[in-house]
Chain A
Amino acid sequence: MARPPESAAWYRRIEGLPIIAVLAALIVVFMISAPHVFLNARIYLAFLSDVPPLLVLGAGLTLVVAAGEIDLSFPSVVAFSGYLLAYCVHELGQTALAPVAGWLGLVAALAGGALVGWVNGILVARLGIPSIIATLAMQFFWGGITTVISGGLSYSLTEADQFAVWHVLVGRVGNFPMQAVWAFGFAAFTWLILNRHRFGEHLLFIGDNAAVARVVGVDVEREKVRLFVAMGVAAAFASVLLTLENREFFNTQGGGYLLEVMAAVFIGGTSVFGGQATVVGSVAGSFIIGLVEAGLVATGLQGFWVRAVVGIVFIAALVFHMLMDQPARRAALFRMLRGRAEGREGSPSAHSMGSFSSKGGEK
């Protein structure tokens, strides 16, 4: 029987190893092309202070994609929750509530994210609106609401470091940024939920086939509502880290994350079809995104190049994952390449090339 051997090679059993290897290779490339930057610890400390919001969002979105859903509203949560935090710190910081204003801000931000997520969950699970549309509508709505209630203003939070919450969440221990600790902790927690908890298993089965999940006794609607609430809270937490680190709130913050976070998740190897997901991959994907952005600039290429290179890394990662997961296609590709190299006609490679070209010819 053509079954893969069960004692699969050790390197296949380490989650996300291929994409971690890609990350390591990229670092080596940048060490060679921009040694003055990448052989210095400072750039890595900069990553650890800048990547955490992306990482938290990526870990949360991994759960959503695992369940075969998508959330496009998280950028607005980054703005909305950021506003709630900024309001508490800035306005309540002047009142008798000052000693707890920072903590109130944290709670308000997380509660705001949970509210947005809960509304998403109701729309998707109870009303049955496809998540790509429902959350897109909510992205507009909450983004608009944030602009309205903030009056389109920004808050400068230069005084943020007077609050304990700032030191706990984004302070420095020596040189080490605290937000990295929280982000890695959050990712580890998400990994445990996905791979070890009942809830994560339910998400995987829902993403695999919702009808099957229902038949085996999973309360699909309830779990989806919980999922979107969890994503809302994750986005709110990312927003808190971002706003405190920047010591600034502006009402369009978060907009740039939409594509980056999705790129990080799919570069990491999570399946767009649902039912299969890797948090480790998403963490590596987040760092790849951060690395390419910082690395290209350090290498001396203009910033304009960043998106193009992210696109190349993205598509390369997708092809790479496809080849890893589908041995038949990998074999076909190798046959084709070998056939090309040897320049033979009528070899098995000619057959596989034929099938590729005939596919392309179908119209």
Chain B
Amino acid sequence: MNGSPAAPAADFRYIVRTEKLDMTFGMVRALTQVDFAVGRNEIVGLIGDNGAGKSTLIKVLSGVLRPTSGRIWVRDRLIDPDDYSVRMAHELRIETVHQEKSLGEKQPLWRNMFVGRQITDRFGFIRIKEERAIADRMLRTAIGLRGAGISVDSTVRDLSGGERQGIAIGRAMHFEADLIVLDEPTVALAVSEVRKVLHFVETIKQSGRACIYIEHNLANVYDVADRLVIMDRGRLVGDFARGQMSLNDLTEHMISLHEERAGGTAA
């Protein structure tokens, strides 16, 4: 599993695509008529204000949330929303690093690596030795871990925020999906570690795979993304190919959206 992964077969155009996606939480409209697509070998930067709906969109794509309405295609094939789940997203080789907690606090790291898709015998008993060995290898190369006495038996609650983020990213790296979704993966990381994440995104591109990268630091995402998609109040409001807009113009644009929004709520 650790060699250079084969690029996904080229018999599809979009790794994921949505049409008229709506998501409401009670009175809150988190997504409104979202048409979003990610190409087979495309790095898409997803940006927007707090509460714009970015995390909600990728939770729908990764099977955590079921949309209120709308359609989803994976590899150009229509998904039955009743069937779709995190497990199925994993099987379809979609891997997500979520913004908030995705690790069991009281559980050892080796369990956290594989929970939900354990290596088992045919009776469902976990092959612990194998899992631990792989987890151990992952720890050695993981981002955000400075080798400070962390082992596969360490529990998550003993780790710092950056170390946890490193584990979550390492887990996503290990499973080598065709689409890797990163929801603000760098917030807890030191500058040198942020650079490693950006490098990881570049390797996704080079190996022919795709990535959705959510980030508030525009400078980070501007450099690695092929395309930037802007969300605002649950809608997609902008879509720029790389180089179409300078980083400065982009920053101005985001600020103007923010002010418009603040003005809108004041009025």
Contact = CB atoms under 8 A, between A and B. Distances in A.
Interface of A: 1, 3-6, 192, 196-199, 201-202, 204-205, 208-209, 211-219, 275-276
Given A1-B149, A3-B158, A199-B124, A208 B101 contact: no
B117 A197 contact: no
Interface residues of B, number: 34
Contact of A276 (B87, B106, B124, B125): B106
A211 to B, nearest CB: 7
Interface string B100-136: 0111111100011001111010011110100000000
Contacts, number: 85
B116 A216 contact: yes
14 contacts: A3-B149, A197-B123, A197-B126, A198-B124, A198-B125, A199-B124, A204-B107, A209-B104, A212-B103, A215-B64, A215-B86, A215-B98, A217-B89, A217-B115
A198 B107 CA distance: 14
Contacts of B123: 197
Given A212-B103, A213-B104, A216-B112, 9 more contacts: A196-B125, A202-B115, A204-B104, A204-B111, A209-B104, A209-B105, A211-B101, A215-B102, A218-B115
Interface string B133-168: 000000000000000111101100010000000000
A2 to B, nearest CB: 9
Interface string B236-264: 00000000000000000000000000000
Nearest to B120: A198
Contacts of B151: 6
A219 B64 CA distance: 11
A115 to B, nearest CB: 24
Nearest to B102: A215
B25 to A, nearest CB: 15
A211 B123 CA distance: 26
B120 A3 contact: no
Nearest to A211: B101
A9 to B, nearest CB: 14
Given A215-B64, A218-B116, A3 B126 contact: no
Contact of B104 (A3, A192, A205): A205
B101 A212 contact: yes
Given A3-B158, A201-B126, A202-B115, A212 B104 contact: yes
B214 to A, nearest CB: 15
A196 B123 CA distance: 11
